Structure formats: C-alpha cells, structure tokens
Amino acid sequence: MRLFVAILLDEKMKNALRGVQNGFRRCGIEGNYTPYENLHLTLAFIGDYPNPEAVLEAMSTLRFAPFTLSLDGLGAFDDLWWVGMKENDALEGLARSLRRALAEMAIPFDRKRFRPHVTLIRRAKIPEGAKIAETLAPQASMRVGRVSLMRSAQGRNGMIYTELGAIEASGE
C-alpha cells in the first residue's frame, strides 16, 4: 500500500491552483497535470507500507491548533512544477512533529527536507518562448484543521487517492 500524510485542500484553494494549471495550458505546456481532486499538500511521503493502522497511531500523538495556509509563488524541481506555501511556523512544526512520531514508531518515510508545495504538473514540456512568468501566481488561503492519511493506487486513468483516516486539530 502506497501511503502519504497530507493536508487536503479546500475548493477555493483548489480552484486557484486549477487557474494556474489553465494558465500553463494556455502557454502550451504539456505534461501530466495533477487532477483537481488530487491536489493536496504532502506532509510526509511513506511509500509502500503494509500497516496503515500504525501510521494512524503515530498521527494520533500529534497535537496542533488550527492554522492558516496560504499559497505563495510558482517553482519547479526539474520538469515538475508546483505552487509553494507562505512561510508558516505552525505548518513547519506540524511536519516536524509528524516526522518525529513516524520515526519513533520505526515507520519509514522520505526524509528529504520538507518543502511545502502542491504539485501542478509532472514531466512538463515547455515550448520555447513560453511566458510562464505571465501565468498568474495564485492567491488563496485556507484554514487547516485536519491531517489525513492517504492511500495512492494506480487507476485506469491515473492515480486514485483515498483517505484512510484523519486527525483533527485540537482547539484554537
């Protein structure tokens, strides 16, 4: 089972991200666009792991107050394009606590430095002369009050993400 822990995005934020994707399309950029329903912010990628209950147990030790998440600019890792998040101590602390809880329970996860972003397109093919800078950077914020354990499975038309469980924020 391929697992990851994520913040699921609200409709307002996903609509802002879809606007950027549409801007990319207008620039002639081809590639594997993340479907609207799959847009999310990964806190920890676990990968193939047979015991989602253990991950949920580790997640249950987390304590966090609701906080606001805001989009902040476009970026790329080679041919993968994303939208970043504004610097946020609460988000950084949540990711750090989650990773510590996973490590304490010997649950393997990708230990790359946490760089909060939402993937918009993979294997992007950018035509010469495309004016990506003219694609509007999205403006959206949302309140985060929940963290979800997700399963990723290959479907007929791409990846299918299924929520297996979640934890809720505790108080303000």
Residue ranges covered by each domain of the chain: 2-168
Q: For 41-45, 91-95, 153-157, which range has the lowest pLDDT when averaged over its residues?
A: 153-157
| Cβ within 8 Å of residue 97, ≥6 positions away | 62, 63, 64
CA dihedral of 34, 37, 42, 48, whole degrees rounded to 10: -90
Per-residue pLDDT at 128 = 83
Cα separation of 82 and 121, whole Å?
A: 7
52-71: per-residue pLDDT in tens?
Answer: 999 999 999 999 999 999 99
pTM summary value: 0.91
When the candidates are 1.10.3720.10, 3.30.300.130, 3.20.20.210, 3.90.1140.10, the CATH number that belongs to 2-168 is: 3.90.1140.10
Is the pLDDT at 135 greater than 70? The verdict is no
Per-residue pLDDT at 155 = 85
Is the pLDDT at 99 greater than 70? The verdict is yes
Is the pLDDT at 130 greater than 80? The verdict is no
Q: For 19-23, 33-37, 104-108, 154-158, which range has the lowest pLDDT when averaged over its residues?
A: 154-158
